[in-house]
Structure 1
Amino acid sequence: MSSLFNKDISINEYVSGCLLCNEAPCRKACPYTLEADNIIRSLRFENKAGAVNKLPHPLPCETCADKACIKACLKGKINEPVPIDKIMKAIAAEPKIKEDDVDLSIDFCGVHTENPFFLSSSVVGSNYEMVAKAFDMGWAGVAFKTIGMFVPKEVSPRFTALTKENLPFVGFKNIEQISDHTLEENIKFLKQLKADYPTKIIVASIMGQNEEEWTKLAKLMTEAGADIIECNFSCPHMTGEGLGSDVGQNPELVDLYTKATRKGTHLPILAKMTPNIGNMEIPAKAAMEAGATGIAAINTIKSIMNIDLENFQSAPNVEGKSSVGGYSGKAVKPIALRFIRDMKVCKELKDAPISGMGGIETWADAAEFLALGCENLQITTSVMQYGYRIIEDLIEGMKLYLSSQGYKRVSEVVGKALPNIVAADELERDGICYPKFDRDKCLGCGRCYLSCFDGGHQAIKMDEKTNKPMLIANKCVGCQLCGTVCPAKAISPAQRVMKK
C-alpha cells in the first residue's frame, strides 16, 4: 500500500494538536490563501493523500517569512501554536495520487445509495434543519433520531467523554433517550426532507411500547416517505420496561415486534442490535426470521464512565447522581467489528445486509467495516465531536484509497477481510516472528525493555554501551509486545521461522 496511507507518520503529533477550528483563523491569516485548516483536517482523519493533493505548487510556506498563520493559531492561547509550516513542508515531497473514476454508490436492502455514509439515529439527525445541512454537504442518508408515541423527559447534562493521557476524547457516554419532538413534528420533518431531497435515503428509526405501537409507527413512517424502517431494539438507557436493550436481549420480543412492524410496512426493515449481550446472532436470527430485511449494529454499550474520587459522583453529573448510559466513540470499534464478523460468518445471517456503526471516524475505519461485510455505515459520535464536515474526508479518502488499490467500486471491498478472521485453533502455531530492531530509529528510551520484562518474557536487555535494546532469543516467544509499545516505531516483526 502506498506510504500515503501509512498511519504512523511523523507529523501525527503536530496534527493531533490542531483544534480544528470553525472558520479557522490560520486560513484567514494566510496571504497565499492556503487551505491549511482543510489540509490538517485531512491529515487528522487519515486522508493523507487528500491532504497532499490540496497542496499548491510551489509551496508558499517555503518562502513565507511572516508566518501569519502560526501567529493567528488559537492553540497558542492554550500552550504552543500548531507548527503549520512544518506540517506542510513534511508532506510536500509526497507524490500526489490521481483520483480515478471510483463509484461509491452501493445498493443496500434493495435501496440505491449515492455513498455508504449515513448519519446514525441520534441527536445529529433530529430535525429538518440539521439533516438538510448534512445532505447538502454530501451525506447520502440519515437514520432519523428514534421516533416514538411519546416525548421523553430528558436530563441535563447528558454527555461526557473519557480521556487518556493527552487524548481528550477516547470514548463518549450519553444518557439521552429518543426524540424530544412530538410524533407530529417528526412526521413533518420526514415529509419535508423527502420532498426537498428525493434522492437521499431516509431511515425512520422507531420504538414502540407494544405491538400496536410498532405497527402504527411503521405505517406512519411509510406514509411520511421513509425509505427504510429501523427498529430500535437496543437503546441502553430507556426509562421504561420493554424498551430499548430490554427488547434486544430478548429474542421472543424481537420476533414479536419485528412481526408487528412488518404488518405496518412494505419497506425494508432494519433490526438494530444491542451489544449488551454475549451472542448477537440469537436476536439477529429472530429478527430476520420474523421479517426483517437486514441488521444494524452496534448500538452503544452500557457503561459507567468514571467516579470522581473527591465526591464519589459520576458523569454526566445530574445534581450529584448519574446512571448507566451508552458508550460510543473510537474505543468501541473493535467490539463492533467483532459482532459484525460473528454475524457474517453465521450461516443463517451470512446474506443479511448489515448497516455497521460503532467508532467510525475516518475513511479507514469505514473501510474496515465494509471489509467485514457491511454495505452501509452509520456515524454519530465523530459528527458530535467534529461536525458534518467529516464527510468531505470520508468521501475523498475512500475514493483515493480505492483508486490506489485498483478498485472501481466501493462494493468490491465488501467482505474482503472475512476469510482472514478465523477460529483460534486454526491459527498457525509452528512458527515464530522475532522482533527486528531498527537501530537508526531507536531512541534508547527502554520502553520495550520495561514492557517485556514486566509484562512479557524477559527477552530484552539494554546494551550498556549503546543504551539500545538487545534480544535474548532463547527467551523470546515472538509476542511483539515490544513493537506494540515502541513510541518510535523502531521494532517490527522479522520473517517467520519454524520453532525449534
Structure 2
Amino acid sequence: MVRAFNEFSAKSESDGCLLCYNAPCTTRCPHGVDPAKVIRSLRFDNLNGVAELIGDAELCKGCQEKSCSKACLKGKMDRPVRIPQLMNYAGSLNKKDSRLRKVDLGITFCGIPCENPFFLSSSVVASNYEMVAKAFDMGWAGAAFKTIGTFVPEEVSPRFSTLRKEGNSFIGFKNIEQISDHTLEENLDFLKRLKDEYPTKVIIASILGQNEEEWTYLARRVTEAGADIIECNFSCPHMTGEGLGSDVGQNPEWVERYTAATRKGTHLPVLAKMTPNIGNMEIPALAAMKTGATGIAAINTIKSIMNIDLEDFISEPRVDGKSTVGGYSGKTVKPIALRFIHDMKKHPLLKDVPISGMGGIETWRDAAEFLALGCSNLQVTTSVMQYGYRIIEDLIDGLSSYLGAKGFSSVLGLVGMALPKLVPADQLNRHSISYPKFNRSQCLGCGRCYLSCYDGGHQALEMDQTTGKPKLNPQKCVGCQLCSLVCPVGAIAVGKRIET
C-alpha cells in the first residue's frame, strides 16, 4: 500500500515535476482534470488555487487508468511523478481552503492605476510587441519594456548561465546581455502598438542615454509613443561603454544630472533604477529624487562571476573560450533586494517614495514580502525565464487568497506592514532563549540536526542510542535554531521563549 502524501512529501514530489508545456499528464486525462496546473500551483505555494482546481477529487480517487503517470515525461529520466498521490493530497485541501475570500489586487503606483502589482521587468522577457502582448493577455498588469537606447549593441553567444545546488539548477542566474537589440524606431513602434491595443495596461519605458542630450531625447520620444512611466536604467552591470549602466548608479552626481535631463524631456512619472553594486543605495536614490524622480526601482542584477571550471579554468557563460563579469539574479538575490528596499524605506527622506521592487520574486509569498517591506509595485524576470508567463495565474490567485485570509481589504493594506518589526541590532532582545521543540513522531532519526549542532553549533544535541533520535542538552543549547533549519522534514520548531 502506498502511503498518503503529507505536506512535506507533496512539496518534494511537486518539486520534481518538469512543468511541461502542453503537459501530457493533462492531455491524456480521461476525466478532463488538469493535473499539470494543480501540480504547478502546489509548486508555487498556491494551495487555495490547488483546492479550486482539483474540483471533484473523487474522479482521481477512483481512477484505475493512471493515464497521467503513464504519460509523465519524467518517467523517461528515472520515474514518473506520483501524480495520483499528488491529486489525492490536493483533494484533501479542498474542504480546508476553498472558502477563502479573495481580494481585488488593484493598486495605484506613481499615480497610475494598475489592475494588480505584477509587472514584467525590463529584460528579455519584455523585449518585443508579441511577447508583451501575450503577457498582457495572460494577466500581467504592466511591463517595463527592455531598455531602449539610441544604439543597438553587439551581443554575445551564449549569454546566460545558472547556479546549481543539489537537484535545483536555477537557484541563481547570470546574464551578460545588454540593452534592446532592436532599433529605437522599432522599439517606439512596439510601445505605441501596445498602448493602442492595451490601453488599461501600464507601459514602463526603460531608457539608457550616453549623455544628457540623449536622456532628454529618449524621454521625449517614449513619452510621445504612449509610455505611462519612464524608468532610467542607472544600473545595468555589464554595459560595454564607460559611463553607462551601473557606472552611473554608483555616482550620485551622474544620477542627479541624468535624472534632471530625463525630467526635462517628459511630464511622466520617472523611476530611477538602482544598482545593488554599492554600499548605501539611499545616496543615489536621494540624488535621483532631488532632481525630478517620482520613485525608485530596485534592485537590478548584482555583478558576479558564476563559476570557474576546474578542468579548463573558464567561467560561464563561455564566449569562444572566455567570459566576463555579469549580472546575477534569481531566488538567491531576494534577501539582498529586501535589505536595500528596507534601508530606503527606513530613511526619513525616502520613506514615502514609491518603490517598484524586484529581485528573486518567484511565488506569491516572495511578492507579499516585497509588499510588506513597502513596495507598491513588483517586477519579475528570472522566474518568467524559467517557468513562462503562466506563473501570473498563481501569483494573482495566491496573493489574493492570502490577503483575504489575513483580513486585508486591498493590496495597499499590506504595503509596509513589516517595517515596524525590523529594528537596529541593539534593540533586539538579548536576555532570553527560544529552545528547539522536537516532534518525536515526525522525526526520522536521520541525525542531520546532530551533525550540524556538533560540527557547526554548540554541541547541545546527542543521539539517543535507544531511540536513535536526537536528545537536547539545555545546559549547552543557546537557542540558535540551526537544528530546526537543517531538519529535512520540519520535525523541529522554535519553542517557548525563556528569560535568562
User: Do Structure 1 and Structure 2 share a fold, with TM-score over 0.5?
Assistant: yes
Separation in structure 1 between the aligned mates of residue 71 and residue 465 of structure 2, nearest angstrom: 47
Q: If the length of structure 2 is used for normalisation, what is the TM-score?
A: 0.97
Separation in structure 2 between the aligned mates of residue 103 and residue 438 of structure 1, nearest angstrom: 39
Change (3 A) 1:152 1:287: same
Q: Deviations over 1:461-496 (max 9, x none)?
A: 111111111111111100000010011211111100
What does residue 3 of structure 2 align with? none
User: Aligned pair 1:257/2:258, yes or no?
Assistant: yes
Separation in structure 2 between the aligned mates of residue 117 and residue 438 of structure 1, nearest angstrom: 39
Give 1:56 shift: 2.1
User: Aligned pair 1:59/2:58, yes or no?
Assistant: yes
The secondary structure found in structure 1 opposite 2:52 is: helix
Q: What amino acid is aligned across from residue 395 of structure 1 in structure 2? A: I
What does residue 328 of structure 1 align with? 329
Q: Which moved more, 1:249-258 or 1:96-105?
A: 96-105
Separation in structure 1 between the aligned mates of residue 259 and residue 98 of structure 2, nearest angstrom: 47
- Please show how residues 385-400 of structure 1 align to structure 2 within 5 Å: 385-400=386-401
Which segments of 5 or more consecutive residues in structure 2 lack a partner in the other structure? Answer: 1-5
- Please show how residues 101-116 of structure 1 align to structure 2 within 5 Å: 101-116=102-117
- Please show how residues 180-329 of structure 1 align to structure 2 within 5 Å: 180-329=181-330
Q: If the length of structure 1 is used for normalisation, what is the TM-score?
A: 0.97
Q: Deviations over 1:79-121 (max 9, x none)?
A: 1100000111123222233353522110101111110000000
The secondary structure found in structure 1 opposite 2:162 is: strand
The secondary structure found in structure 2 opposite 1:401 is: helix
Give 1:213 shift: 0.2
The secondary structure found in structure 2 opposite 1:9 is: helix
The secondary structure found in structure 2 opposite 1:419 is: helix
Q: What amino acid is aligned across from residue 364 of structure 1 in structure 2? A: R
- Please show how residues 442-453 of structure 1 align to structure 2 within 5 Å: 442-453=443-454
Separation in structure 1 between the aligned mates of residue 223 and residue 39 of structure 2, nearest angstrom: 42
What does residue 4 of structure 1 align with? none
Separation in structure 2 between the aligned mates of residue 146 and residue 425 of structure 1, nearest angstrom: 42
Q: Deviations over 1:140-199 (max 9, x none)?
A: 000000000100000000011110011121100000000000000000000111100111
Separation in structure 1 between the aligned mates of residue 180 and residue 389 of structure 2, nearest angstrom: 20
The secondary structure found in structure 2 opposite 1:215 is: helix
Give 1:59 shift: 2.2
Q: Which moved more, 1:117-126 or 1:486-495?
A: 486-495
Separation in structure 2 between the aligned mates of residue 229 and residue 299 of structure 1, nearest angstrom: 16
Separation in structure 2 between the aligned mates of residue 492 and residue 414 of structure 1, nearest angstrom: 28
What does residue 373 of structure 1 align with? 374
Give 1:334 shift: 0.5
The answer as to whether partners of 1:99 and 1:399 remain within 8 angstroms in 2 is no
Give 1:58 shift: 4.3
Give 1:55 shift: 1.0
User: Aligned pair 1:44/2:24, yes or no?
Assistant: no
The secondary structure found in structure 2 opposite 1:11 is: helix
Number of aligned residue pairs: give it: 493
Q: What amino acid is aligned across from residue 414 of structure 1 in structure 2? A: V
Separation in structure 2 between the aligned mates of residue 100 and residue 11 of structure 1, nearest angstrom: 25
Give 1:9 shift: 3.5
What does residue 356 of structure 1 align with? 357
The answer as to whether partners of 1:121 and 1:205 remain within 8 angstroms in 2 is yes
Separation in structure 1 between the aligned mates of residue 364 and residue 495 of structure 2, nearest angstrom: 29
The secondary structure found in structure 2 opposite 1:223 is: helix
Separation in structure 2 between the aligned mates of residue 201 and residue 9 of structure 1, nearest angstrom: 39
What does residue 458 of structure 1 align with? 459
Q: Deviations over 1:371-390 (max 9, x none)?
A: 00000000000000110000
Change (3 A) 1:64 1:193: same
Separation in structure 1 between the aligned mates of residue 90 and residue 37 of structure 2, nearest angstrom: 14
The secondary structure found in structure 1 opposite 2:496 is: coil
- Please show how residues 391-470 of structure 1 align to structure 2 within 5 Å: 391-470=392-471
- Please show how residues 87-98 of structure 1 align to structure 2 within 5 Å: 87-94=86-93, 95-98=96-99
The secondary structure found in structure 2 opposite 1:169 is: strand
What does residue 146 of structure 2 align with? 145
Separation in structure 2 between the aligned mates of residue 22 and residue 91 of structure 1, nearest angstrom: 21
